[in-house]
């Protein structure tokens, strides 16, 4: 009797946490480049009443007798599937069309983060930054040799008297500057980073990921070394667009219904077990 109570309690706890994950997915259905999560369940350990035995001569083998002790959450995995792309027309909005992450640097703590959300902007100094002030990383010189904070300005122009008229980011991440005198040149390149085990990345909020070393940066180094888009299995960059959340509302509402019913079933097990215990107690009367 007590086994059914504890098993049902483990079910309530597991399905409550699964509901929490579903609620977070639905809440972020319109979050830029949000990656939904799923809950993977596993059965808990079983109490062995009789071990199995193999057949021996004229004796047949006997199966094991085990009673499970409930359910547990094996993992909460991020689903890194591609989200749909939406055109914005803003030149600083960048979307990745396949695998990879933008690399960011926190200028206050000098920490490195990742993001799939390309809703960037250009600050007053010319740096390409996130809405939170982190600087996008890539080649920051015209020779494409130095990796650092990306600048979008007129540095490197042939005519020092000319001013920057416009800029554009190509599918390969190249930043093309057009000057007021009609000349154009490459100012730098946005680089991307991918990992052998992206499930090891940690969500930090604000569309950021940390835990880069544990995720196994591609390139064989413990320190991430971003590379140009379209290489090493990375996707290309789509300028003037943003990646949308990959949450599928139809699937989430289906999971919500099945999770609610499973929660109710486990709650019913507790109620029934309580009624059986009450009958047992009443036997003395």
Output the pLDDT for position 49: 82
Average pLDDT of span 281-285: 78
Would the pTM of this model clear 0.75, i.e. be above it? yes
| Rg of the chain taking only CA atoms, in angstroms | 28
Output the pLDDT for position 223: 65
Nearest to 116 by CA among 220, 39, 198, 216: 198
Task: Indicate if the pLDDT at residue 220 is higher than 70.
Answer: no
Cross-strand partners of 206: none
Average pLDDT of span 132-153: 93
Could you tell me the pLDDT band of residue 140, with boundaries at 50, 70 and 90?
Answer: very high
**Are 78 and 35 a contacting pair, CB within 8 Å?**
yes
What end-to-end distance do the CA atoms of the chain give, in Å? 20
Decide: helix, strand or coil at residue 122: strand
Average pLDDT of span 182-190: 92
String of DSSP letters for 65-114: EEEE--EEEEEEEE--PPPPEEE---TTBEEESSS-EEEEE-TTT--EEE
Could you tell me the pLDDT band of residue 2, with boundaries at 50, 70 and 90?
Answer: confident
Q: What is the pLDDT of residues 71-96, one digit of tens each?
A: 999 999 999 999 999 999 999 999 99
Residue 132 to residue 172: CA distance in whole angstroms: 25
Q: What is the pLDDT of residues 9-57, one digit of tens each?
A: 999 999 999 999 999 999 999 999 999 999 999 998 888 888 878 888 7
């Amino acid at each position: 009797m007590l086994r059914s109570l504890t098993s049902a309690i483990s079910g309530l706890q597991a399905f409550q946490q699964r509901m929490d994950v579903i609620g977070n997915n639905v809440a972020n259905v319109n979050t830029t480049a949000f990656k939904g999560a799923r809950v993977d369940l596993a059965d808990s350990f079983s109490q062995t009443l009789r071990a199995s035995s193999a057949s021996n001569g004229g004796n047949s083998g006997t199966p094991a007798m085990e009673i499970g002790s409930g359910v547990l959450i094996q993992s909460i995995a991020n689903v890194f599937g591609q989200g749909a792309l939406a055109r914005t027309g803003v030149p600083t909005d960048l979307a990745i069309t396949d695998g990879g992450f933008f690399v960011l640097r926190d200028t206050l703590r000098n920490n490195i983060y990742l993001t799939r959300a390309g809703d960037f902007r250009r600050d007053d100094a010319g740096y390409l930054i996130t809405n939170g002030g982190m600087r996008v990383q890539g080649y920051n010189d015209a020779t494409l040799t130095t990796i650092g904070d990306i600048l979008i300005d007129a540095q490197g122009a042939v005519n020092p008297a000319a001013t920057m008229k416009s800029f554009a980011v190509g599918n390969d991440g190249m930043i093309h500057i057009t000057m007021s005198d009609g000349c154009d040149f490459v100012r730098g390149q946005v680089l991307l980073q991918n990992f052998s085990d992206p499930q090891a990345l940690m969500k930090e909020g604000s569309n950021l990921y940390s835990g880069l070393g544990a995720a196994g940066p591609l390139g064989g180094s413990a320190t991430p070394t971003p590379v140009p888009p379209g290489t090493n299995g990375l996707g290309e960059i789509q300028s003037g667009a943003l990646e949308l959340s990959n949450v599928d509302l139809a699937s989430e509402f289906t999971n919500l219904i099945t999770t609610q019913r499973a929660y109710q079933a486990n709650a019913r097990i507790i109620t029934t077990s309580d009624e059986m215990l009450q009958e047992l107690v009443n036997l003395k009367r």
